[in-house]
Amino acid sequence: MEEKNTSCPFKTTIGGQALIEGIMMRGPKKIATVILKGDGSHVVKEETYTPIGEKNKLWKLPVFRGMAAFGSSLKLGVSQVMFSADQLDIQEEPTRFERWLERKIGRKKAEQFFMNLAVVLGIALPVLLFILIPTILAAVLDLFGVAHLYFLRALAEGVLRILIFLGFIYFSSKMKDMQRVYAFHGAEHKAVYCYEAGEELTVENVRKHSRFHPRCGTSFLFLTMIVSILVFSFIAVDNLVLRLILRLALLPLVAGLAYEATKLAGRYDTVLTKLLRAPGLALQRLTTAEPDDKMIEVAIDALVRVIPEEKGADQW
């Protein structure tokens, strides 16, 4: 069936994340995670939350709201992936270290320890791949006497960052398990498109929509790398260690600016915003795949649970 690519008049802030055999959807006030079990049944986890902008007005301001969204998304994403992994029908013997830790601090504290460790690793690995390694590799330019050309060095870092990112996406798309995750990603996009079109959320209606959505985390990540080139080019520091520290310190600012660019690209349909969306949409050919009916059912189940009761409360 040919995909429907209509420009929907209503644009929602509801977004999701593909998980291991499931999908997490996040609305203005609710988060719903739905996991597909081997027997076709759904495991559902629902929770409400208070947006950080309602706790402190600072986090409602442009750029700052992007910083808050970046941090909360990282933590939430890792915890939801762990939840989905726990639902798999795989029985594993605990390691000696896990058994020792449970004896020392108890099962609940041990589980919290591993949850926190997963969050730390989930943040540390992207920082290593996309910040530290490109910065260190780009330092080779110093050997050619062009250390004072800060934009050139930032550009070299940015190109390396994008190449590493593209390589990661390409090779992961070839893995069998990741192909299913990417199919759930496609189901998430299709369901959101169907909802924005004002159509009834049925498998038949959802299937006809495109799996390529302009307001996707893939687009945000790509824009983050582009923004980093611009921001880091203003750092006139030659010491490598200090440069690494500044890169890490400025990461929230980069994420905040990229968030605003993503908001702009998702809100308007101009030549500029279409250019901003184009790389992310192109990458979705790798990070999404056509879902089967059961995956679409999971996407619908998760989506309907987070749609606000007040019509329009999730307007983009």
pLDDT (0 to 100) of residue 2: 46
pLDDT digits (tens, 9 = 90+) for 186-216: 999 999 999 999 999 999 999 999 999 988 8
For the residues 95-123, what does the mean pLDDT come to? Answer: 71
pLDDT of residue 122: 66
- φ, ψ for residue 75 (rounded to 5)? -65, -45
The pLDDT, as a whole number, for residue 181 is 93
Q: Domain for residue 315, yes or no?
A: no
Question: Confidence band (pLDDT; 50, 70, 90) for 146?
Answer: low
Q: How confident is the model at residue 124 (pLDDT cuts 50, 70, 90)?
A: confident
Q: Give the type of residue at 295.
A: M
Structure tokens at 282: 């192109």
- Identify whether the C-beta of residue 46 lies closer than 8 Å to the C-beta of residue 305: yes
Q: Does 81 reside within a domain? A: yes
The verdict on residue 116 lying in a domain is yes
Residue 313: inside a domain: no
Q: What's residue 114's pLDDT?
A: 66
Question: In this structure, is residue 231 part of a structural domain?
Answer: yes
Asked whether the beta carbons of 184 and 298 are under 8 A apart, the reply is: yes
pLDDT of 63: 92
The predicted pLDDT at position 93 comes to 64
Residue 145 in any domain: the answer is: yes
Residue holding tokens 């029908």?
A: 89
Two tokens, residue 240: 């490598």
**Domain span including residue 292:** 15-304
Q: What is the pLDDT of residues 225-273, one digit of tens each?
A: 899 998 988 888 888 899 889 998 998 999 999 999 888 887 888 888 8
pLDDT, average across residues 123-148: 78
What's the pLDDT at 77? 81
Q: Which residues pair with 22 in a beta bridge?
A: 19, 35
Query: Is the pTM value of this prediction over 0.85?
Result: no
Decide if 106 contacts 98 (C-beta within 8 A).
no
What is the pLDDT, as a whole number, of residue 206?
97
pLDDT surpasses 50 at 1: no
Q: Is 6 among the domain residues? A: no
The amino acid sitting at 226 is: I
> Considering the domain boundaries, does residue 228 fall inside one?
yes
> Sheet of 15-19: strands edge to edge?
15-19, 22-26, 30-36, 42-48
Lookup result for tokens 């110093």: 142
* Helix orientation angle between 176-196 and 150-173, rounded to the nearest 10 degrees: 100
The residue among 117 and 162 whose pLDDT is bigger is: 162
Query: Considering only 26-30, 90-94, 115-119, 252-256, which range has the smallest mean pLDDT?
Result: 90-94
User: Number of folded domains in the chain?
Assistant: 1
Confidence grade of residue 148 (pLDDT, cut at 50, 70, 90): low
